[in-house]
Amino acid sequence: MRYTTLGSTGMTVSRICLGCMSFGTPDWRPWVLAEEDARPFFRRAIEAGINFFDTADMYALGVSEEVTGRALREYGRLDELVIATKVYFPLADRPNMGGLSRKHIVQACEASLRRLGVDTIDLYQIHRWDPHIPVDETLAALDHLVQAGKVRHIGASSGWAWQLARALGVSERRGWARFATMQNHYNLLYREEEREMLPLCATEQLGVMPWSPLARGLLAGSRSSVGDRSASTRAATDSYGHTLYDQDTEWAIVDAVRAVANERGISMAQVALAWLLSKPVVSAPIVGTTRLPQLEDAIAAVDVALSAEEIASLEAPYRPQPVRGH
């Protein structure tokens, strides 16, 4: 495994972050693995040197955090690991159970700490931006958690670059903890983040943790077309994922990935992840898995160095498209 520093935090993280949305209970989503089936993924990840794990309170309505916490305490050494979770989406259709108010952020953090079984969350992220709450209130609540020792660093997720820039400015003026990371939608099929968000992250030294690095399996070659929903249970039931990829040019990119993979004799997933890892601004793609070979591909991708010619061939078919994933 290779490692890097996560933005300006000083924390050392593996170049692959294991996403834990697929671990918890299939009662939440049919493709989610129950705890017994999820445990081998944590064991193998830690054996391979992965020390970075990302979950969220809304994944399996809290069960993902419970499963993640138990597995990491059993298989890893918490002092060596970096545990990230997120807040925003509601866990119940009741008042004060979602959003980024001070009340919900503090309550949600305390609940995540209990479910994870830790004293401090290494990286606490807003899962989305809340248009109904002043950013000052959100940032003050997050700074409170840092000062109280419940959170070490804070991060943001998908949104507009102006929202991140504004938040960084408010934190600077107030002397509050500032966002240290950006978890955004970025892969070979979706590169709109290259316009403003990624240059901002590079300038402000934020660590970047792309979600959906394999475009819901399209870049891994798991589908016969962009609209193919038969490849897996998740492909068939992931209504949100269906809204992310529908451009006519996307299959040409998939073909380009396949060509490089065939030439090298490696998997398409390794090529697509290696492309992300070649970007200096990217710290660690967040890779979700439901089969162990998928995890092995992610581990192997860290050692794949693409040539300038290969990168150019992968990027050439891309065309601008509407912003997605906010």
Does residue 321 lie in a domain region?
no
Q: Going along the chain, which residue ranges are E strands? A: 3-5, 12-14, 17-19, 23-24, 33-34, 52-54, 82-87, 121-126, 151-157, 179-183, 207-208, 286-288
Does residue 324 lie in a domain region?
no
Q: Residue 187's domain spans which residues? A: 3-315
Does residue 323 lie in a domain region?
no
| Nearest-angstrom CA–CA distance, 20 and 60 | 10
59, 124, 190, 245: which is the annotated catalytic residue? Answer: 59
User: Which amino acid type is present at position 234?
Assistant: R
Look over the chain and give the mean of its residue pLDDT values, rounded to a whole number.
Answer: 94
Whole-prediction pTM value? 0.94
Does residue 233 lie in a domain region?
yes
Does residue 41 lie in a domain region?
yes
Q: Which residues of the chain have pLDDT under 50?
A: none
124 included as an active-site residue? no
Number of domains present in the structure of the chain? 1
pLDDT value, residue 230: 52
pLDDT value, residue 178: 98
Does residue 322 lie in a domain region?
no
pLDDT value, residue 228: 55
pLDDT value, residue 251: 92
Does residue 326 lie in a domain region?
no
pLDDT value, residue 167: 98
**Domain containing residue 287: CATH number:** 3.20.20.100
Model confidence over 268-295: pLDDT tens digits? 999 999 999 999 999 999 999 999 999 9
Q: Percent of the chain at pLDDT above 90?
A: 90
pLDDT value, residue 227: 57
CA distances from residue 134 to 2, 94, 265, 308 in whole angstroms, order as listed = 39, 21, 51, 44
pLDDT value, residue 241: 61
Does residue 182 lie in a domain region?
yes
